Structure 1
């Protein structure tokens, strides 16, 4: 079966070259959002519902979700529903997102925004800051340890927070090695229940990895979560956050769906 991740990374590399030619680093630094103080993802997850509600128009495995609501309606609905944060996909070829989505979302909500993309270059860290993100996603399967360290330090220097994504114990061990190499006070590790190579989902992945998480970190379960009872179970295992997109985006009103979901997990 085709390795979708390799295809995505190849396309991301190509698109990145074009963006670098269009917008310089100095131009990114001049954008209004670049100087803003970020809203803490870590604190919002710790003190709120734990739901990171995702704006995602499509996926490589499911195609378009055909959500009839605008980005503004969706993210404002998520905030009103009680989401701790917004995940905003900015990959265009595979997920239908854009960097402009970050700006639009930042303009209408007052909760943290995670830039969800395939981050492979320091330039993207500066893009995230310039377009209004509060945190970035670093996927272990896309980066070696040196790249993880370099991009983490760059993000921290810009005031951005970090969500490290892992899929297996080897990747989790690598992230622990990286974070042990320097002092990070506020970071989050997420288990992606979806295999990025074949886009198959298994919630058991979260169950298997949580015993190996470092103490003090906020643990997130990502992908394939559609049942509030699953969230309740994952909470008992130690998860404090849950990244959910498709479950909401495939409905007529994602904000209302998110609100019902949060009420259900708290009942």
Structure 2
């Protein structure tokens, strides 16, 4: 694991300890009633010949600030993404390294009708009670043996878990859980380098597992897609959706860049 990732995990552990002084678990009720269905939305996009783009409200990557984004800005950006045809919106809530916030997520989810993904480092069940979202990111390489129980906890709380994997070992672990969505992150957690070949190598393994076990996972390619050709490549390889943040935010043209990627399969 890269040193930056270890630093993020340490920072997250401190946030979790702070949460435990503020949230009384005994007072929290499970909420499975208000979830917006991303799986149906992705299927609909595909039948329309469009790319299912999960567009991300992304203020920063570790060591790379993109843009100051507060709650009002987040809602405005998400609205443009929705108008452009995004299938869902991802909102970063990690505050120290990605400059995100739960306030941004709350503002976005109030403003739009699309499913909203909470993008953060979820390491403790108390984080499920912090903020409402439709999907929640669970990173296999960080959760390890806890992954299965965290997936089940997320489902019981009304979230659709998106289990993120980076290699074959993590994929095997993810496929043993109840998740319906596998996110293949093209960024290597050991060196933070990005290679779209990761998606191309791992998609066939998911497809083979599904054929052999009578299952059907949604596959999302994450990180490193900047152009129409990038998107075409991973979709042609079998990705059901793509998650794109940096290239949309950096473009300065939220609507136009999102729509360009949504329309990537159209001549």
**TM-score, scaled to structure 1:** 0.88
Over the residues paired in the alignment, what is the CA RMSD in angstroms?
2.0
1:75-224 pair list within 5 angstroms: 75-127=78-130, 131-145=131-145, 147-179=146-178, 187-213=180-206, 214-215=209-210, 216-224=216-224
Does the 8 Å CA contact 2:148/2:176 hold for their aligned counterparts?
no
Does the 8 Å CA contact 2:32/2:158 hold for their aligned counterparts?
no
Corresponding position of 2:62: 60
SS of the residue corresponding to residue 248 of structure 1 reads helix
1:12-51 pair list within 5 angstroms: 12-25=12-25, 29=29, 36-48=33-45, 49-51=51-53
SS of the residue corresponding to residue 221 of structure 1 reads strand
Does the 8 Å CA contact 1:4/1:196 hold for their aligned counterparts?
no
Does the 8 Å CA contact 1:229/1:265 hold for their aligned counterparts?
no
1:251-266 pair list within 5 angstroms: 251-266=251-266
Corresponding position of 1:229: 229
Does the 8 Å CA contact 1:139/1:165 hold for their aligned counterparts?
yes
SS of the residue corresponding to residue 138 of structure 1 reads strand
Distance 1:148 1:2, change over 3 A: closer
Does the 8 Å CA contact 1:54/1:245 hold for their aligned counterparts?
yes
Alpha-carbon displacement from aligned partner over 1:114-147 (angstroms, at most 9, x marks no partner): 11001110111222xxx230011110111123x1
Unmatched tracts of structure 1, length 5 or more: none
The whole-number CA distance in structure 1 between the counterparts of 2:28 and 2:113 is 22
Unmatched tracts of structure 2, length 5 or more: 46-50, 211-215
The whole-number CA distance in structure 2 between the counterparts of 1:210 and 1:152 is 21
SS of the residue corresponding to residue 163 of structure 1 reads strand
C-alpha displacement of 1:28: 5.4
Task: State the number of aligned residues.
Answer: 253
The whole-number CA distance in structure 2 between the counterparts of 1:2 and 1:207 is 23
Alpha-carbon displacement from aligned partner over 1:21-70 (angstroms, at most 9, x marks no partner): 1233356559xxx5751001222222223111001101114x21126891
Distance 1:177 1:110, change over 3 A: same
The whole-number CA distance in structure 2 between the counterparts of 1:19 and 1:197 is 28
Q: Structure 1 residues 116-125 or 232-241, which shifts more? A: 232-241
Does the 8 Å CA contact 2:151/2:177 hold for their aligned counterparts?
no
The whole-number CA distance in structure 1 between the counterparts of 2:150 and 2:95 is 22
Moved over 2 A (4+): 22-30, 66-69, 263-267
The whole-number CA distance in structure 1 between the counterparts of 2:42 and 2:244 is 14
